[in-house]
Amino acid sequence: MTDAPYSEGTWKGRPNYRCARCPFDSLDQLRIDAHVEEHRTADLVLERRALLRAPAEPPPDALAAQGRRLRQRAGLPEAVTPPEGAAVADAGASASDPAAPHDKEPA
DSSP secondary structure code for residue 26 in this structure: E
Instruction: Work out whether 19 is an interface residue with Zn ion (CB under 5 A).
Output: yes
Q: How far apart (Å, rounded) are the C-alpha atoms in residues 47 and 56?
A: 15
For residues 27 and 17, is the Cβ–Cβ distance under 8 A?
Answer: yes
Which run of H or of E encompasses 9? strand 6-11
Cα–Cα distance, 58 to 36 (Å, whole number): 37
Pick between residue 13 and residue 23 the one whose CB is nearest to Zn ion.
23
Candidates 24-32, 60-68, 69-77, 80-88: pick the segment binding Zn ion (CB under 5 A): 24-32
Give yes or no for residue 24 binding Zn ion (CB under 5 A): yes
- Cβ of residue 37: shortest distance to Zn ion, in angstroms? 10
Question: Could you say which of 7, 21, 31, 43 contacts Zn ion (CB under 5 A)?
Answer: 21
The residues that touch Zn ion, with contacts defined as CB under 5 A, are: 19, 21-22, 24
